[in-house]
Amino acid sequence: MKIAVLEDEKNLNDALTIYLESEGYEVKSFYSLKEFFSSIKNYQDIDLIIGDVLLPDGNFLQELKKYPHLAQNVKVIIISAKTDIENIKKAFNIGAEDFIKKPFDYEEIILRINKIFHLKKQKITDNIYYDFNSKALIKNGKNILLTKKESKLLEVFLKNRGQILSADYLINAIWEEPVPKNTLTVLIKRIREKIGKKDIIISKRDLGYILF
């Protein structure tokens, strides 16, 4: 998912950007309306804008009105310390999906993003997530599609994280019928390759496999 952060307070903008990147999102930062509206056309694939209302060069909500196409196609979360009802009304009237009162907690941002996009993501490692809705891995903000069997196996591991699962248990959960153990080994190898970390799923001799 691609996110544009529009915030003039450098400290907040940079920290928010770094945090969102660490959560696997691709982020583009903007510090002024001029910078944002002059270059947003180059980022047609932005999914979400997280923006402050009052910037030194104008009001984001008023400017956004001039770009109805943008407001209709991209989700917007307003972050503002101006929390009077008129300001909140303006934000929602213009099509904002959510309004977050400053100061906010970093976890709150992720909760709101997930709610807006109905996302059910689970973290696998730093920068790698599994999205239960799209059955895809999100690696550094990019989607990596999994086959039906790969996603099913990864979901079994994620639901039983930290537990050793026997080969028979896994085969039964994925194929629901006996298959050669080599078939399971190949499937696990493919998942390790797609995640890009060999030791993400460990093989325990005579016991089975474990996802850390």
Partner 1 sequence: MERRLVHTIKNKLGAIKFASSVLNKKNIPSHKKDVIINNLKEAANEAIELFEIFSEIDKFKKSTLNKEEIYIVSLLQKLTNINLNCEDKAILFDKIWLEKAFNNILTQIKEYEIMLSFKDNQLKIIFLFHNEPIYIDLAKEIFSEIGKIKEDKGKIEIIL
- In DSSP terms, 139 is beta-bridged to 128, 142
180 binds partner 1 per the rule CB under 8 A: no
Is the CB of 63 or the CB of 150 nearer to partner 1? 63
115 binds partner 1 per the rule CB under 8 A: no
Is the CB of 14 or the CB of 155 nearer to partner 1? 14
Whether the CB-CB separation of 155 and 149 falls below 8 Å is answered with: no
Minimum CB distance to partner 1, residue 167 (Å) = 32
Minimum CB distance to partner 1, residue 108 (Å) = 10
| Phi (first) and psi of residue 25, to 5 degrees | -90, 155
The CA radius of gyration of the chain, in Å to the nearest whole number, is 21
Residue 41: DSSP 8-state:
G
- The residue from 2, 14, 134, 210 that contacts partner 1 (CB under 8 A) is 14
> Which pair of tokens denotes residue 30?
């903007």
d(CA 39, CA 146): 34
Identify which of 126, 205, 204, 201 has the alpha carbon closest to the alpha carbon of residue 156. Answer: 201
Minimum CB distance to partner 1, residue 65 (Å) = 21
Q: Beginning with the edge strand found earlier in the chain, give each strand of the sheet holding 128-131 in spatial order.
A: 121-125, 128-131, 136-139, 142-145
Is the CB of 10 or the CB of 120 nearer to partner 1? 10
Q: Count residues contacting partner 1 (CB under 8 A)? A: 20
H or E stretch at 62: helix 60-65
45 binds partner 1 per the rule CB under 8 A: no
> Hey, which residues between 124 and 163 contact partner 1 (CB under 8 A)?
126-127
Q: How many CB atoms lie within 10 A of CB 28?
A: 17
Site string for partner 1, 93-112 (x = CB under 8 A): ---------xxxxx------
Is the CB of 105 or the CB of 199 nearer to partner 1? 105
> Which pair of tokens denotes residue 87?
């300001």
Minimum CB distance to partner 1, residue 104 (Å) = 7
Chain positions contacting partner 1, by CB under 8 A: 9-12, 14-16, 18-19, 21-22, 56, 81, 102-106, 126-127
